[in-house]
Structure 1
């Protein structure tokens, strides 16, 4: 379903009068409200978890000699939201992935006290770990001694609004109805339509439960303490 079809599905569920919409631009009044409720519902769903599978993306960049910090833009992370901290790897570019190793993520305080203190500020070598700066930049430890390293990994996208009629939400198609049901709750609250709100809430909770099972990492239990 695209933005326009979701809006029309919402109008149908809410019993709106008039013909189906043919556009999502240049609208006013109730039609504009329906579009806004759909977009708000989509933004709301994206923000319900920081690690949705449908919001994962990958990045790759080459290091710059003696440069420790790399912004999301410098790391080629488009529409960046948050780093997936357990996904970083590094290899010598000339040797390729056969030279690849994991880059563990360190706490920023630990990193700062080690790599940004005293003589370590100018100690350049092959990076062996990294941290996230308060500004969400990648900090390599130590700063690379050459430009010949490639860093790869994954990140989570920032929530994106629906704008054009043909825009398609990034979650799997079978869960697009979740947007309709969440938007019904916005409509029902605005119009004091209790029956619409309750139906939307009931159906949304069902779809959300399936979405969470499908699109969130499985829960793992740690080993018991001895």
Structure 2
């Protein structure tokens, strides 16, 4: 669903008079649009590692440098980078090893070779690699910034089956403004159910280590 279509669903559920045809209109429609917008941002911010926010960038490493800032990595300052997924930096089907920045500063590496270790500067998210002996291609996984819905035809980057979750969350927000306790309760229950489903599907599964039986 588009931003507008989600807002229309919320508007209709509240039984408001008139038509909703623009997310940037004024009065009651503005309240609905803001409720939906905030609902979508809150869903994205609920966890830091949603699968639907995960992406990757291919970086060509050069032996003449070791430090790569975000502008170099993404070829622009205008990108949707949120934070790195350090456990999924890949070279030649192998996971690269992250070293803490404090430890990295205390270690001097002069030998060259293929990509193996890296660190991330906390202040600007630059990625630093050990010295290389050749050019290499690595895959760097990251999570996007929360998407902000702005225009009528904007589509949430959430699997379509869960667009209704944004509608229910938006309905919860709007129900507070319009003092609709019945709709608040109904939408809260449905939103919680769908949120649980989304978390099971879109979050990494935790590995549980079982101790051997004695």
Could you tell me the TM-score, scaled by structure 1's length? 0.84
Cross-structure match for 1:70: 68
Rounded to whole Å, the distance in 2 between the matches of 1:153 and 1:223 is: 31
Rounded to whole Å, the distance in 2 between the matches of 1:41 and 1:175 is: 13
Q: Is the 8 A contact 2:7 2:33 kept in 1?
A: yes
Q: Is the 8 A contact 2:52 2:202 kept in 1?
A: yes
- 1:102 corresponds, among 95, 98, 103, to 95
Rounded to whole Å, the distance in 1 between the matches of 2:10 and 2:105 is: 50
RMSD: 2.1
- Paired residues for 1:79-90 under 5 Å: 79-90=80-91
Unaligned runs of 5+ in 1: 91-96
Rate the CA distance shift 1:218–1:161 in 2: closer, same or farther, 3 A. same
Cross-structure match for 1:24: 23
Shift of 1:149: 1.4
Unaligned runs of 5+ in 2: none
Shift of 1:89: 1.9
Instruction: Report which stretch shifted further, 103-112 or 200-209.
Output: 103-112
**How many matched pairs?**
209
Rate the CA distance shift 1:224–1:139 in 2: closer, same or farther, 3 A. farther
- 2:31 corresponds, among 26, 33, 43, to 33
Q: Is the 8 A contact 2:100 2:119 kept in 1?
A: yes
- 1:43 corresponds, among 41, 44, 57, to 41
